[in-house]
Amino acid sequence: MPSTVSAEGPPADPPELLLRDFEPRPQLVVSTTHPDKPRFPVIDAHNHLGETFGGGWIHQPVAELLDILDRAGVRLLVDLDGGWGESILEEHLDHFKAASPDRFLHFGGGDWGQWPEQGSGFADWAAGRVREQARRGAQGLKIWKGLGLQVRDHKDQLVAVDDQRLDPIWAAATEIGLPVLIHVADPVAFFDPLDACNERWEELRAHPDWHFPSPPFPPFLSIVEAFKRLVLRHPGTTFIGAHVGCYAENLNWVSDLLDQAPNLYVDIAARMAELGRQPYSARRFFLRHADHILFGTDLPAAVSCYRVHYRFLETADEYFAYDPVGAATQGRWQIYGLSLPDDVLEKVYHLNAEAVLLGRSRSGSAAL
Ligand SMILES: [Zn+2]
């Protein structure tokens, strides 16, 4: 008989608790470290300064953004929101780069919606836009996840990521020396049914437009396999695979591709939660591919956000929230620090980005 039984009988069961109200507080007592500044200067190689993502900095004073970057130890920020039309790119160049030429770098983009109008000449037309954007100051080309998921040609057929008709676009980027930052697919769970097994259920419920169930969307693997073929077929083109090569859930898959494709780099933007829940695999991945990983956040610039990234990469802290305000927005788990060695940290923080984005030698660490 349990000792909790009183003279009045057994205690009543506690009331049912909804998952959304369940906020367990870890009672672990372990050492914690909170780096204020990164151990080396940082390049945030994946961010957005436009209207939709990144906090809408295009409408705010650059001095305020620079103040945040200074306090966070971020030397250079890559803005992927140069858009397709030259007017958006020029607006960003005027607002940010003109104010502080050494602190910002802007990528152009693509307007797939022009395919019906341009017909079979679309890729040549698009390659011309890439050249024009570079002439005006774009320092890279951003390809968004619509390619492979939604982009349709002039015959209303879905276009695969490795569709050979797009080759003139990659050729133009290669000829000019622009890196191509490409984001295909999304977290694997975004392609799964929205049921009790989906590890991103809460996020997908909050953002139903992020759900790409297959069918009608192509399976996740068919998209990333097409990305792999694209990268391998264009060894002269420098690709940056956003979000850990678009498959952070499977670092062995990304690692195999990096082994085969010296023209491929990956950024870690928006994947701290994914990497931090697999610290042994992630640390091995960073050590093996230290020359091909770029720091990036994909989050509105905030000192607290940068600091949690530094805690993740630099410390051996255990089981901490990946979101500075503690919200488990990318899955109900906590993360572990990777305690990366200095030589790896310096490459990831800025040397690799300098090599890919600015064409500087990786040994020239005095640049920043
Ligand atoms: Zn992004």
How far is ligand 1, taken at its centre, from the CA of residue 94, in Å?
21
- Burial 44-58, CB ≥16 within 10 A → b, else e: bbbbbbbeeebbebb
pTM score of the predicted model: 0.94
How far is ligand 1, taken at its centre, from the CA of residue 313, in Å?
20
How far is ligand 1, taken at its centre, from the CA of residue 101, in Å?
22
Contact of 180 with 147, CB cutoff 8 Å? no
How far is ligand 1, taken at its centre, from the CA of residue 18, in Å?
32
How far is ligand 1, taken at its centre, from the CA of residue 107, in Å?
12
Residue type, 134: A
How far is ligand 1, taken at its centre, from the CA of residue 16, in Å?
39
The DSSP-derived string for 96-109 is IITT-TTTEEE-B-
Distance (Å, whole) CA 260 – CA 265 = 12
How far is ligand 1, taken at its centre, from the CA of residue 79, in Å?
9
How far is ligand 1, taken at its centre, from the CA of residue 46, in Å?
6
Predicted pLDDT at 348: 98
How far is ligand 1, taken at its centre, from the CA of residue 9, in Å?
58
How far is ligand 1, taken at its centre, from the CA of residue 48, in Å?
6
Predicted pLDDT at 362: 64
Distance (Å, whole) CA 215 – CA 353 = 37
pLDDT digits (tens, 9 = 90+) for 217-266: 999 999 999 999 999 999 999 999 999 999 999 999 999 999 999 999 99
Distance (Å, whole) CA 160 – CA 141 = 18
Sign of CA dihedral 129, 298, 303, 251: negative
Contact of 23 with 325, CB cutoff 8 Å? no
Predicted pLDDT at 367: 44
Of the candidates 104, 9, 6, 67, the one whose C-alpha atom is nearest the C-alpha of residue 306 is 67
Sign of CA dihedral 357, 358, 363, 365: negative
How far is ligand 1, taken at its centre, from the CA of residue 45, in Å?
10
How far is ligand 1, taken at its centre, from the CA of residue 105, in Å?
14
How far is ligand 1, taken at its centre, from the CA of residue 91, in Å?
19
Predicted pLDDT at 363: 57
Q: In DSSP terms, which residues pair with 293 in a beta bridge?
A: 266
How far is ligand 1, taken at its centre, from the CA of residue 99, in Å?
23
Can you list the residues of the chain whose pLDDT is less than 70? 1-9, 326, 362-368
How far is ligand 1, taken at its centre, from the CA of residue 28, in Å?
34
How far is ligand 1, taken at its centre, from the CA of residue 183, in Å?
8
How far is ligand 1, taken at its centre, from the CA of residue 155, in Å?
29
Burial of 19 per CB tally in 10 Å (0-12, 13-18, 19+)? exposed
How far is ligand 1, taken at its centre, from the CA of residue 152, in Å?
22
How far is ligand 1, taken at its centre, from the CA of residue 56, in Å?
13
How far is ligand 1, taken at its centre, from the CA of residue 80, in Å?
7
Burial of 136 per CB tally in 10 Å (0-12, 13-18, 19+)? middle
Predicted pLDDT at 237: 98
How far is ligand 1, taken at its centre, from the CA of residue 165, in Å?
25
Predicted pLDDT at 328: 80
How far is ligand 1, taken at its centre, from the CA of residue 196, in Å?
28
